[in-house]
């Protein structure tokens, strides 16, 4: 079993979302891409690989139909997960300006690079 060393896990939809978060975050966190919706086998694999039952899990997905479907699915499977929402004005995590994303992550007690808070 592969284990991650960080206690915080952010679940996102895609690689562009992950890269956008990595730009602004200054915290020890594992960012997991689901690549959209997924089945039971894929979820079980993620659950075991990243020890999601033992970590602080955050769900940060797009504010569109597929993102809301994924959020609902993850909420059912990970009831302890905390949800992070982006404004529907931006719709996608990757399209959210870094300053807005940094403020959103900061509000959930993540450390972010100070340059994005100016």
CATH number of the domain encompassing residue 63: 3.40.1360.10
Residue 3 pLDDT greater than 60, yes or no: no
- In which domain, by residue range, is 32 found? 8-116
C-beta of residue 26 within 8 angstroms of C-beta of residue 112: yes
Confirm whether 1 is domain-assigned.
no
Q: Provide Rg for the chain, Cα atoms.
A: 14
Backbone CA torsion sign across 49, 52, 53, 54: positive
Angle between helices 15-24 and 98-107 (to 10 degrees): 80
Residue 61 lies in a domain: yes
CA atoms 33, 62, 83, 28: torsion sign = positive
Would you place residue 109 in the very low, low, confident or very high pLDDT band (cuts 50, 70, 90)? very high
Check residue 41 and give its pLDDT: 87
- H-helix segments, the chain: 15-24, 40-49, 65-77, 98-107
In this structure, is residue 58 part of a structural domain? yes
Question: Looking at the DSSP assignment, which residues form a beta bridge with residue 96?
Answer: none
Element (H or E) spanning 36, and its range?
Answer: none
**Residue bearing the bigger pLDDT, 37 or 66:** 66
2 in a structural domain: no
112 located within any domain: yes
- Give this prediction's pTM: 0.92
pLDDT at 40: 83
Sign of the Cα pseudo-torsion (31, 35, 37, 39, in order):
negative
pLDDT for 19:
97
Give me the number of domains the chain comprises.
1
């Amino acid at each position: 079993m592969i284990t991650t060393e960080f206690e915080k896990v952010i679940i996102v939809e895609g690689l562009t979302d992950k890269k956008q978060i990595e730009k602004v975050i200054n915290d020890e966190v594992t960012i997991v891409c689901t690549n959209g919706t997924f089945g039971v086998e894929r979820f079980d694999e993620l659950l075991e690989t990243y020890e999601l039952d033992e970590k602080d899990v955050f769900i940060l997905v797009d504010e569109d139909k597929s993102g809301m479907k994924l959020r609902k699915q993850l909420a059912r499977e990970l009831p302890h997960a905390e949800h992070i929402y982006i404004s529907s004005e931006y719709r996608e995590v990757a399209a959210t300006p870094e300053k807005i994303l940094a403020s959103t992550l900061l509000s959930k007690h993540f450390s972010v690079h100070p340059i994005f808070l100016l």
